[in-house]
Structure 1
Amino acid sequence: MDDLAAPHQTSRRSRYPARVTLGRRPLGVIGSALTARRNVLELIPEIATRQPMVSGRTGKRWHMVMDPEALRIVLKDRVEDYPKSIVTKLLLEPAIGQSLFVAEGAHWRWQRRAAAPAFAQRHVEALAPVMTASAEASARRLAAASGPVDVFAETVAATFEVISDVTFSGSEGFDRDAVHQAIDAYIASSARLSVLDILGLPGWVPRPGRLFSGRDLRRMKRVADDAIRARARSGPREVPDLLDLLRAGQDPETGRAMAEGELRDNLLTFIVAGHETTALTLAWALYLVAFDPGVQDRAAIEARAVLGARAATAADVARLPYTRQIVDETLRLYPPAAFLSRTSRIHDRLGGREVRPGDTIMLPIYALHRHHMLWDDPDRFDPDRFAADCDRDRYAFLPFGAGPRICIGASFAIQEAVIILSTLLARLRFDLAGAAPEPRMILTLRPHGGVRLRVEAR
């Protein structure tokens, strides 16, 4: 009976942690739109975890791609033929403009080349003391808590401290609360699919749910613009932060550097992605280790042996392989970017199926990571899947994407997650408290209702 427990009523005795209930019947246009507003992942049919491709028509022709070889074509071999979908741009352009995440073609390429040095490994490691300090502060806050704690709220606070410090370190007048509130308000009110998106109507047709976020977005951009101008007057920091590194960056092929608006949009992209995705990874990881105390104890032993009483640093990351395995397995089960989409520009064949210009190509990373042809017992939590001697297709595990548009901040995110998670597990024990979180995706895969755990010192 435990194996059949409802996905949102997972107990310690259940075999599987919280899962999304995938679709078992066609929903139609209105049903798809209503479902997407509640949880995009519920649009994925159950059969998508057992077949390489699923196609259909809901307003527009669409194809869900779970075949690693087809994913390699879309994300790497013919990336120019499969740009970001119109819906993706409608959701994100109001907040982050034509920044790296949204831009296409030549405009994307020069920005990527200009930004790449800022994310070189030496710079990522140089920013690690901010992560260590945040891990220390988070451990203190959690140790002082009484009663069940929503650890998602805590990981959001911890990772926002990190990203705001490494982006605008010491910037006087940078209103972090205003930026944080604007991001949350935009995701809550605007970053949802509408029935007009499902029908494939063009972007100039107004989406009612996105008409009321302008004030928050303007305030967020104004705060970032003010911080950028202040830095231009004061000059770079002794230890360069992300703003300094991006201001100094140039495309080596054209010599082009980012103008103020381009700087702002990219910095806001990194702030949104840089705290949201890592906060989610940490919250889901803490839920999973509370779900499986054996895994938690093994990770705690590793962390205590490496760290003793101190917080983790960049130099410790390579010495914490099991903690890294937990992070990877968390990203498999609960990838923050759990559902991506592209639009085909060409006639093609993917997975043996015809693709036409204008077709929507859905990349349901959630289904890929739980696919029965690619993973053994895929809904089970098992960090040993990522042991050093394990082998898998590169395109079966895509928490950060792949190909030329792979997430530029992937190493930053992994370093931060390992530093904070190992520090917490070395000092604290986490136990389930109440109902399991519900995996629900709006823009990212969030734990609806929070992640409530009991926390005590080891």
Structure 2
Amino acid sequence: MAKDAFTDDNRTPVRIPLATEPVGILKSWQMMRENVLNIIPEQATEEPVISGKTAKRWHMVMDPGAIQQILLDRVEDYPKSTVTKNLLRPAIGESLFIAEGAHWRWQRRASAPVFSHRNVAALGPVMTAAAERTAQRVAQAGPRAVNMLDEMITATFDVIAEVTFSDDGSFDRNAVHKALETYVNDAGRVSLLDVLGMPDWIPRPGRTTASAEMAQMKQDADAAIEARAARGPGDVPDLLDLLLAGQDPKSGRSMTTSELRDNLLTFIVAGHETTALTLAWSFYLCAFDSRVQDKARAEAQKVLQGRAATTADVENLPYIRQIIDEALRLYPPAGVVSRTAQKRDTLCGADIQPDDTVMIPIYALGRHKLLWDNPDQFDPDRFQNRKSIKRYAYLPFGDGPRICIGASFAVQEAVIILATLLSRFRFTPVKGRDPKPVMVITLRPEGGVWLMAEPV
């Protein structure tokens, strides 16, 4: 493995060397199958836009003004790319993440109240309980190394299972987790047919089998949703209760069983995978820089006084939040987002034609030399004044009308879990076990995040 994939002598956290020369179609596909980050040129950290052609025309856009044009000013002209939709549709259907136009707008209006500040805050006790269980598991590990990636996946899935279905036994959470993991690992990789721009109706090898496994899980989910609709909400409404009661205020339309299911699966995927990855990278970075970790621990211990964090503590833990922000800059879960241009446009002088692929390489954007000082360095203090961060230069949750609907949920959960564990343990790296940033659908720490956890 390349030296740059590990912590180097200049105290730089793990990173992937970006491409320095163009490659052909077959090589490009092979590189994407291994790690989507491999296709990002080093130029993407230095230029406002770069263009090329690999079977079809593509553009990578890093200029904040041009990104605003894509995500806000002309959002209807830049829907999610066909490849993105083909990868995710078998798992999450025509949910909020994939839907476009009027179908997206009514779903967004119906779902937005579910993630109101009041509702998200009410879910805090579930997050606190998950943080406590995680602390107990880490303590029980004793003097052995702990894979914090696995711990964070367990913790965040515990949370999403509880807040989605109240963990009422109507839904086999393990089956859901396994089916989604199988799909991501076995079918969630770009096909050569995608790269070549072949029609959607041509089957993609590997995706058909995984889709069949997803079909059974969806049937089970539908049965659970219909049973809940017949039974009615519990004392404390969960996400399913809130969605069942939700209506588009403009049309009065409510979601069907299949629409509810697709959106719940979207929330399950996004509500645990991305937060788990953010936390795993945050723990890696805290172990990488003991000074940052000590400062964060002091803040957490002062606020928490030996207890787990709660929703009320989140605003009093600004440095913990800065660590999470910096982890999202260096290792964004969505390392690349892709759009398909519908109309002719010009972005930083680049001629955009209909059907061109337009990518925003979030991984490169967070390391762009014109947008950040010492971009490869870990420095949570750069987020001390969030107003100083140029909009559309930092996009961990996207932006514009399609900004992540669960962003506040994710941040609240991450702060609660990170603060709880840092207040009780000192994390140190395991020599030779640094993770490697690898993106398939999300940017994961390949090999896990193995750390020693010493009680304090």
Report the TM-score range of the alignment, normalised by the length of the smaller protein.
over 0.9
Amino acid at match of 2:444: R
Alignment match, 1:133: 129
Alignment match, 1:121: 117
Q: Is the 8 A contact 1:431 1:453 kept in 2?
A: yes
Take 1:54 and 1:182, find their aligned partners in 2: how far apart are those partners? Answer: 37
The TM-score with structure 1 as length reference comes to 0.97
Deviations 1:77-106 (A, max 9, x none): 000000000000100001111000000000
Q: Is the 8 A contact 2:222 2:257 kept in 1?
A: yes
1:321 Cα offset (Å): 0.2
Alignment match, 1:451: 449
Q: Is the 8 A contact 1:9 1:435 kept in 2?
A: no
Matched, 1:252 2:249: yes
Deviations 1:119-141 (A, max 9, x none): 00000000110000000000110
Secondary structure of the structure 2 residue equivalent to 1:7? helix
1:326 to 323, 328, 335: 323
Alignment match, 1:31: 27
Deviations 1:153-206 (A, max 9, x none): 000000000001000004223101000000110000011111111111121111
The number of equivalent residue pairs is 453
Amino acid at match of 2:236: V
Segment drifting more, 331-340 vs 203-212: 203-212
Matched, 1:48 2:27: no
Secondary structure of the structure 1 residue equivalent to 2:94? coil
The TM-score with structure 2 as length reference comes to 0.98
Matched, 1:362 2:359: yes
1:422 Cα offset (Å): 0.2
Alignment match, 1:82: 78
1:387 Cα offset (Å): 0.1
Matched, 1:19 2:2: no
1:389 Cα offset (Å): 6.3
Amino acid at match of 2:25: V
Q: Which ranges of 4 or more aligned residues in structure 1 deviate by more than 3 Å?
A: none
Matched, 1:371 2:368: yes
2:287 to 290, 298, 313: 290
Take 1:66 and 1:204, find their aligned partners in 2: how far apart are those partners? Answer: 33
Take 1:284 and 1:114, find their aligned partners in 2: how far apart are those partners? Answer: 33
Amino acid at match of 1:53: V
Take 2:17 and 2:87, find their aligned partners in 1: how far apart are those partners? Answer: 25
Alignment match, 1:271: 268
Matched, 1:63 2:38: no
Q: Is the 8 A contact 1:440 1:448 kept in 2?
A: yes
Q: Is the 8 A contact 1:172 1:227 kept in 2?
A: no
| Superposed CA RMSD | 1.1
Q: Is the 8 A contact 1:340 1:362 kept in 2?
A: yes
Amino acid at match of 1:435: R
Alignment match, 1:105: 101
Segment drifting more, 211-220 vs 410-419: 211-220
Q: Is the 8 A contact 1:160 1:275 kept in 2?
A: yes
Q: Is the 8 A contact 1:83 1:104 kept in 2?
A: yes
Amino acid at match of 1:361: V
Q: Is the 8 A contact 1:317 1:419 kept in 2?
A: yes
Matched, 1:281 2:241: no
Q: Is the 8 A contact 2:14 2:435 kept in 1?
A: yes
Take 1:226 and 1:171, find their aligned partners in 2: how far apart are those partners? Answer: 13
1:226 Cα offset (Å): 2.0
Q: Is the 8 A contact 1:18 1:438 kept in 2?
A: yes
Secondary structure of the structure 2 residue equivalent to 1:328? helix
Q: Is the 8 A contact 1:7 1:17 kept in 2?
A: no
Take 1:58 and 1:377, find their aligned partners in 2: how far apart are those partners? Answer: 32
Secondary structure of the structure 1 residue equivalent to 2:377? coil
Take 1:176 and 1:415, find their aligned partners in 2: how far apart are those partners? Answer: 23
Secondary structure of the structure 1 residue equivalent to 2:253? coil
Matched, 1:436 2:434: yes
Secondary structure of the structure 1 residue equivalent to 2:433? coil
**Percent sequence identity over aligned pairs:** 60
Take 2:156 and 2:391, find their aligned partners in 1: how far apart are those partners? Answer: 28
Secondary structure of the structure 1 residue equivalent to 2:392? helix
Alignment match, 2:310: 313
Alignment match, 2:184: 187
Take 2:169 and 2:284, find their aligned partners in 1: how far apart are those partners? Answer: 36
Take 2:387 and 2:400, find their aligned partners in 1: how far apart are those partners? Answer: 22
Which consecutive unaligned segments of at least 5 residues does structure 1 have? Answer: none
Alignment match, 2:194: 197
> Equivalences for 1:344-359 in 2 at 5 Å?
344-359=341-356
Matched, 1:300 2:279: no
1:14 Cα offset (Å): 4.3
Deviations 1:224-262 (A, max 9, x none): 112212211221011110001111110000000000000
1:209 Cα offset (Å): 2.4
Q: Is the 8 A contact 1:437 1:451 kept in 2?
A: yes
Which consecutive unaligned segments of at least 5 residues does structure 2 have? Answer: none
Take 1:221 and 1:385, find their aligned partners in 2: how far apart are those partners? Answer: 43
Segment drifting more, 316-325 vs 382-391: 382-391
Amino acid at match of 2:368: H
> Equivalences for 1:122-161 in 2 at 5 Å?
122-146=118-142, 147-161=144-158
Q: Is the 8 A contact 2:58 2:357 kept in 1?
A: yes
Matched, 1:169 2:149: no
Amino acid at match of 1:379: D
